Amino acid sequence: MGQNLLTQIVFYFFAVLTVGSAAAVVFSRSLIRSAFALLFTFFGVAALYAFLGADFLAATQMVIYVGGILVLLLFGVMLTHKLYELNRKSETYQLMPAVVVVFGIFGVLVTFIMRTHWHSGGQSPAVPTTAAIGELLMREYILPFEAASILLLIALIGAAMIVRRKSE
Amino acid sequence: MIGLSHYLVISAALFSLGMMGVLTRKNAVSVLMGVELILNSANINLVAFSRFSAGNLSGQVFAIFIIVVAAAEAAVGLAIVLSMYRIIKTINLDQADTLKG
């Protein structure tokens, strides 16, 4: 019982961390603060993966999102702003229509999540998943796996091409 | 006890916040951050359903594919943003209104 309570406390801590820092990403005025709040969101999501028994995905989330995408976004912020304007307030527009639309979507989603009676197949025990995922990728999902690798190659070459092109 | 709907509600909240970012921010990099939030919310959904369907790992494999696509999207998106900054000297989306750079 005590352990169950502890699990719940830790779960709610990470849930609040994730959603709170996501709100900071969206509502923070300074772009740098948004980027660092995004770091905590990615951490929180990785922790939720660990809660769901997805150990391999949690590690992947840390390596790719925190180590790759976030650094890339920070490069984007740094390269498109002069240093003295980094703290300038970033502007927003369409605030009221967006609030209406977003709260509408959120309300509908939560209503249906709460109303639906989910047929749970029962929780699986939290066992290491890396070997099983590897087998799935190499057997059932071999074609999407190869397609994804080609997509990644094309995207990275394309990104390099776009940036290297001379403007004049 | 923490059930499936807890994770789904967190995911819905992340999705709504990401949507808010995409709809309201003027800065192109902020919009990309919103897109990342939306992709993460989809991933939480997939992993949660995978967990609560008695150890069927297909959801986690799909989450890996989503991470791959997110990495490609971030790379190409930032390349476009940098290129746009080089040409029109701003990354405010409401000022990028010419088709010929």
**pLDDT tens-digit series, residues A45-67:** 999 999 988 999 999 999 999 88
Cβ atoms of A43 and A17 within 8 Å: the answer is: yes
Domain identity same for A16 and A75: yes
Asked if the structure places residue A70 within a domain, the reply is: yes
Domain boundary among A59, A87, A115: A87
Tell me which chain B residue has its CA closest to the CA of residue A96: B24
Out of A38, A51, A151, whose CB is closest to B36?
A38
**Among the ranges given (A42-46, A89-93, A160-164), the one the predictor scored with the smallest mean pLDDT:** A89-93
User: Which residues 45-74 of A are in CB contact (within 8 Å) with B?
Assistant: 45, 48-49, 51-54, 56-57, 60-61, 64-65, 68-69, 72-73
Q: Is the pLDDT of residue B19 over 90?
A: yes
Cβ atoms of B21 and B33 within 8 Å: the answer is: yes
Domain identity same for A17 and A80: yes
Asked if the structure places residue A105 within a domain, the reply is: no
What mean pLDDT do residues A29-36 have? 88
- The verdict on a CB contact (< 8 Å) between A121 and B47 is no
Query: Total structural domains in chain A?
Result: 2
Q: Which residues pair with B92 in a beta bridge?
A: B27
The dihedrals phi and psi of B27, each to the nearest 5 degrees, come to -80, 130
Q: Which sign, positive or negative, has the C-alpha torsion A42, A48, A51, A56?
A: negative
Instruction: Pull the structure tokens for residue A130.
Output: 């890396």
Instruction: Pull the structure tokens for residue B81.
Output: 């943003």
User: Which residues 90-129 of A are in CB contact (within 8 Å) with B?
Assistant: 90-95, 97-99, 101-103, 105-106, 109-110, 113-114, 118, 120-125, 129
Task: State the residue range of the domain holding A145.
Answer: 127-168
Q: Which residues of A107-139 are buried (b: 16+ CB within 10 A; e: fewer)?
A: eebbeebeeeeeeeeebbeeeebeeebeebbee
Q: Is the pLDDT of residue A165 over 80?
A: no
Asked if the structure places residue A111 within a domain, the reply is: no
Out of A64, A124, A141, whose CB is closest to B67?
A64
Q: Is the pLDDT of residue B101 over 60?
A: no
Q: What is the pLDDT of residue A85?
A: 67
Min CA distance, B97 vs chain A (Å)? 16
- The verdict on a CB contact (< 8 Å) between A80 and B51 is no
B97: confidence class by pLDDT, cuts 50, 70, 90: confident
A77: confidence class by pLDDT, cuts 50, 70, 90: confident
Domains and CATH numbers, chain B: 4-95 (1.10.287.3510)
Q: Is the pLDDT of residue A146 over 60?
A: yes
Domain boundary among A87, A119, A137: A87
Asked if the structure places residue A93 within a domain, the reply is: no
Instruction: List pLDDT tens digits, range B52-90.
Output: 887 688 899 999 999 999 999 999 999 999 888 888 888
CATH number at residue A62: 1.20.120.1200
Asked if the structure places residue A107 within a domain, the reply is: no
Asked if the structure places residue A142 within a domain, the reply is: yes
What ipTM score was computed for the predicted complex, to two decimals?
Answer: 0.91
